[in-house]
Amino acid sequence: MIMAYLKDFQERINKNDYPGFLKLWEEYCYSDEPDGDEFIKILEAVKNSPISGAFGQHIEKGLSLWKLIEDKEISRKALRLIFDIQKTNSSTLAEIALQHLEQNYPNDPLFSEKLKLIGLRGSDNFEGAISKFELLTHMAPGKYVFHTGGWGTCEIMDVSMVREEISLECDLVLGTKSLSFSNAFHTLYPLSDDHFLSRRFGNPDKLEKLAKEDPSGVIRILLRDLGPLTATEMKEELFDLVIPAKDWNRWWQACRAKIKKDTKITAPSSTKDPFALREKAISHEEAFQKSLEKKPTIQETIVMVYSFLRDFPETLKNAEFKTSLEARVKDVLQNEDLTAAQKIQLYYFLIDLDHMKESKELTEIIDATSKYKNLIDEIDVISFKKRLLTSIKEIKENWKEIFSDLLLHVEQNLLRDYLLNELAKIKEQEYLKSKIEELLNHPIAFPETFLWYFQKIFTKKGKAKLPFSDNDGKAKLFEHFLILLSFTNDRPNLRDLGKKIVNIITANRYEIVRDVMEVSSIEQVKEYILLSTKCESLTDHDKKIIQSLAEVVHPSLSSLRKGKDIDEEQEDIIWTTQEGLQKIQKRVSEIATVETLENAKEIEEAKSHGDLRENAEYKAALEKRDRLQSELKLLSSQLNKARVLAPSDISTQEVSIGTIVKCSDSNSNVTSFTILGPWDANPEKHILSFQSKLAKEMIGKKVGESFSFQNENFSIQEIQNYFDR
C-alpha cells in the first residue's frame, strides 16, 4: 500500500511516543523496496517534531533505504534531510557527504572554502552540511531566500566570503540587513527564481499580469511552493500583494470557477479544508468516480451528480463515462427506500442523460402525489424544485389550484416568481387574486411571502398588471406592511424581518413612504401615522419623518398633532440609567469588534465556495452584514442622544421619567410601574419605556388623578423617585 508507514509514524510523533517511533523505524529500515516520497515525508515529519534531537542518533539506519532510491532528485532530498537530522557526525556520514558534494559540484571554485564553512573540514560537527552547502552555492546578488526569523522574503544584495557575511533587502523589514553565514545557516533557505515568493517580491507586476491571464496557473504555483492552503490563507498571500484590493472579489470569483475545472488542483469540500496540488492531473470524470466510491448517501449522491453535471457538462461527451453514470443512476433507482422526491430527481437525471422529453415513471409519481408542498421541501436542488413545478403544470389538469396553494408556502423567491408569472398569465386571474387577498389579510401567517410580494409591487416596472398594483392596492399593501412591522416587535423569530422592513421604509430617504403618501387618501394617511406609532422598530426620528411627509401631501394633518407631554427638546433625548447605557455600549462594542469581524470572515468563506448563483451561505452572510450595519448605525445614533438619569432630574409632583407609580384599577387591584428609558424597559417586571403608550397616558398625572388604558380606568395612588426605591 502506498504510504503504508507514514500514518503510523505520524501517530507516534503526535503522541510524542519516541520508543514506539524508534521501534517502527527499525522495522521500516528492513524494507527492500522503499517508497522515496514516503521516506521524504517521514523525515520531514520527524525533522519538525520534538523527537528530532533524540532520533538524530539513530537516523544512520536509514542510509540502507536511501541507497535503494533510484530517482536522483528524491535521493538528493532524502540525503539532505538525513544530514539535517543527524547528530552523530560519524566518519561514514562525512564520507557520504563529501562524495555527494564532489559528484554534484565538481567545478565549484570555492569548494574547499565551503567545505570548511559547513564543518566537513576542520570541524567535528557537520549537521545540515548538504543544506548549508546548497545555501552557500545559491547565495549570489539577485537571488532570493526566505528568512524564517520574521524578515520574510529577501533579495541577496551582496555576499562576502572574506567577512563570511551576506547583505539582504527583505519585504518585512526596512533597509539593508547584514547576516553572518553562521546565522544564515539557521534562518535562511534558498528560493528558486520561479518560486512564488521570489516572483512576488522580485516582480509583483509581472506576477499580477500572469494571475489575471492564468488565475488557476498562479494558484498551482502557490500551492506547489507553499503547500496546501485554505481560501483564507490564499487570500493572505495574494490580496493587495499580487491582486489589487479593488479587483480582488471579481478576480477571485473568476479564479474559483477556473480552479473548479483545473484537473491538478483538489478543491475542498468545506471552507475549513485546504486546496491542494495533485502530483498528477486527474480528469473530472475520474475524480467524480472516486468520490462516488466513498459510498455517499442517496441524497448526497443526488446533490453530487447535479453539481458535477452543472459544472462539467462537457464530460457527457465521453460516451463511456455517460453510460457508467446512467448505470449508476439506474442502480440507485432500484433502492426500495427511495422517497418520491428522490425518485423524481433521479428520473430528471435519466431524462437529461438520455435526452428524453418525458418519463412514464416520473409522470406516474407526480400524478399520484397530493402533497406537493412536502415534495418540493424534500428536494434540495432549487433548479429541480422549479423543474418539478413545470412538470406539475404539464401533467396535472388542476395545476392552477396547485400553483395558487403553493404560492404562499414555497420559501424561495425563484419559485415564487415562477408561480406568480404563471398564475398572472391566466386571463381571469381569479386564482391569483384570491391568494393575494389571503396574503393581504394574513401577513403574519406568511411574513416572508408578504414582504416578497410587497417589494414586487413597489419595484415593479413595465410588467403585466398584478393584483393590488394600482394606487388603491398599494395603499392597502402599505397599511398591512406597517401592521406586519408592528407584530415583529414581540416575536423573536420575526426580528430580522422587522429590520428588513425598516430598511425598506428608510431607504432612499423614505422613497416608498413618499410614493405611497402621494396616492393615498387623507384617511389612509391617518391610518399610516397611527400604525407607525405602534411600530417599536421605528425610531422617533422615523415617525417624525412619516408625519412630516404626510403633512406635505395633506397639510391639514398638521393641526392634528397631539400636544406633547414632553417638549420637542426632551422628546429627542433618550433617557437611560447607567446600567442601560452600559448595556448598549457593550452591544455596540460587540457588534463593532466581534460580530462584524466574524461576519467578514463568514462572507469571505462563503465567497470561497464560488458559484454565487446558489450560494445560500453568501446571501445569508450579506443579509447579516446589512442587519449588523443597520443596528450599529441605529445604536450609535441613539447613544449620541442618550442622557443618564440623575436623582435631580426626577420630580415626584407628577408622573415623569424616573418615577415609580402605584395605580389601582376599578377592582382596587394595585400595580406598580417604573417609567424609564427604552434601554431599561422590561414589561415582565413592569418597567415601561417613557415612549410606550401606557407610559404616555400616565405622564403628567398627579396623585389622585385618573387615566384610561385599553378600556380600563386607573387611579394614581403614589409616585416615588426611582432612586429612592
How do residues 61-108 score in pLDDT, each as one tens digit? 999 999 999 999 999 999 999 999 999 999 999 999 999 999 999 999
Pair (203, 277) in one structural domain: yes
Q: Count the neighbouring beta carbons within 10 Å of the beta carbon of residue 251.
A: 19
Nearest Cα to 579, choosing from 487, 510, 644? 644
Pair (601, 620) in one structural domain: yes
Nearest Cα to 420, choosing from 362, 469, 366? 469
- Secondary structure element (H or E) that encloses residue 709, with its range: strand 706-709
Report the CATH number that the domain containing residue 713 is assigned in CATH.
Answer: 3.10.50.30
In the beta sheet, which residues pair with residue 682? 687
SS3 (DSSP) at 114: helix
Residue 605 lies in a domain: yes
Backbone angles phi, psi at 654, to 5 degrees: -150, 165
Q: Are 489 and 524 in contact (CB under 8 A)?
A: no
Q: Indicate the burial class of 275 (C-beta count within 10 angstroms; 0-12, 13-18, 19 or more).
A: buried
In whole angstroms, what is the distance from residue 327 CA to residue 651 CA? 84
Taking residues 680-704, what's their average pLDDT?
88
In whole angstroms, what is the distance from residue 697 CA to residue 704 CA? 15
Confidence of residue 1 (pLDDT cuts 50, 70, 90): very low
- Secondary structure element (H or E) that encloses residue 463, with its range: none
Answer whether residue 211 shows pLDDT above 90: yes
The DSSP string of 41-87 is: HHHHHHHTSTTHHHHTTTGGGGHHHHTT---HHHHHHHHHHHHHH--
The DSSP string of 396-430 is: -TTHHHHHHHHHTT---HHHHHHHHHHHHTSSS-H
Answer whether residue 619 shows pLDDT above 90: no
Spatial CB neighbours of 386, under 8 Å, sequence gap ≥ 6: 414, 415, 418
- Say what the pLDDT of residue 614 is: 57
Cell for 689? Answer: 419605556
Cell 511516543 belongs to residue = 17
Q: Are 176 and 157 in contact (CB under 8 A)?
A: yes
Backbone angles phi, psi at 652, to 5 degrees: -100, 10
Q: What are the tens digits of pLDDT across the range 229-265?
A: 999 999 999 999 999 999 999 999 999 989 988 999 9
Residue 594 lies in a domain: yes
Nearest Cα to 664, choosing from 723, 721, 705? 705
Pair (269, 243) in one structural domain: yes
Residue 653 lies in a domain: yes
Taking residues 34-62, what's their average pLDDT?
92
Of 21-35, 316-330, 456-470, 590-604, least confident by mean pLDDT is 456-470
- Say what the pLDDT of residue 572 is: 65
Cell for 75? Answer: 535521493
Q: How far is CA 221 from the centre of its chain?
A: 26
- Say what the pLDDT of residue 615 is: 65
In whole angstroms, what is the distance from residue 15 CA to residue 19 CA? 11
Rounded to 10°, the helix 6-14/18-28 angle is 160
Cell for 78? Answer: 532524502
Pair (273, 201) in one structural domain: yes
Pair (638, 690) in one structural domain: no
Taking residues 588-603, what's their average pLDDT?
85
Of 563-572, 579-588, 689-698, least confident by mean pLDDT is 563-572
Cell for 354? Answer: 438520455
How far, in Å, are 142, 168, 170, 217, 488 from residue 198 at the CA level?
Answer: 10, 13, 11, 16, 57
Pair (623, 686) in one structural domain: no
Q: Are 9 and 24 in contact (CB under 8 A)?
A: yes
Residue 311 lies in a domain: no
Among the candidates 232, 247, 282, a domain finishes at 282
Among the candidates 643, 666, 698, a domain finishes at 643
Residue numbers of the domain that contains 221: 197-282
Share of the chain above pLDDT 90, in %: 57
Q: What are the tens digits of pLDDT across the range 141-190?
A: 999 999 999 999 999 999 999 999 999 999 999 999 999 999 999 999 99
Q: What are the tens digits of pLDDT across the range 490-538?
A: 788 888 899 999 999 999 889 999 999 999 999 999 999 989 988 888 9
Answer whether residue 136 shows pLDDT above 90: yes
Q: How far apart are the first and last CA of the chain?
A: 79
- Say what the pLDDT of residue 3 is: 65
Residue 625 lies in a domain: yes
Q: Are 43 and 78 in contact (CB under 8 A)?
A: yes
Nearest Cα to 570, choosing from 408, 478, 450, 690? 690
- Say what the pLDDT of residue 647 is: 86
Mean pLDDT of the chain: 89
Q: What are the tens digits of pLDDT across the range 367-382?
A: 998 899 999 999 989 9
429 or 13: which leads in pLDDT: 13
Residue 542 lies in a domain: no
Residue 693 lies in a domain: yes
Pair (620, 672) in one structural domain: no
Count of the separate structural domains present in the chain: 3
Pair (606, 660) in one structural domain: no
Pair (651, 716) in one structural domain: yes
Confidence of residue 650 (pLDDT cuts 50, 70, 90): confident
Pair (610, 596) in one structural domain: yes
Taking residues 130-142, what's their average pLDDT?
96
Pair (631, 652) in one structural domain: no
Q: What are the tens digits of pLDDT across the range 404-460?
A: 999 999 999 999 999 999 999 888 778 898 899 999 888 989 999 999 999 999 886
Taking residues 308-336, what's their average pLDDT?
90
Answer whether residue 569 shows pLDDT above 60: no
Among the candidates 282, 311, 338, a domain finishes at 282
Share of the chain above pLDDT 70, in %: 95
114 or 572: which leads in pLDDT: 114
Rounded to 10°, the helix 284-292/319-333 angle is 20
Taking residues 120-134, what's their average pLDDT?
91
Burial code of 693-702, b = ≥16 C-beta within 10 A, e = fewer?
Answer: ebbbbbbebe
Confidence of residue 631 (pLDDT cuts 50, 70, 90): confident
- Say what the pLDDT of residue 603 is: 80
- Say what the pLDDT of residue 563 is: 42
Residue 300 lies in a domain: no
Residues in the chain: 725
- Say what the pLDDT of residue 2 is: 52
Answer whether residue 54 shows pLDDT above 90: yes
Nearest Cα to 661, choosing from 724, 721, 719, 703? 719
Pair (673, 636) in one structural domain: no
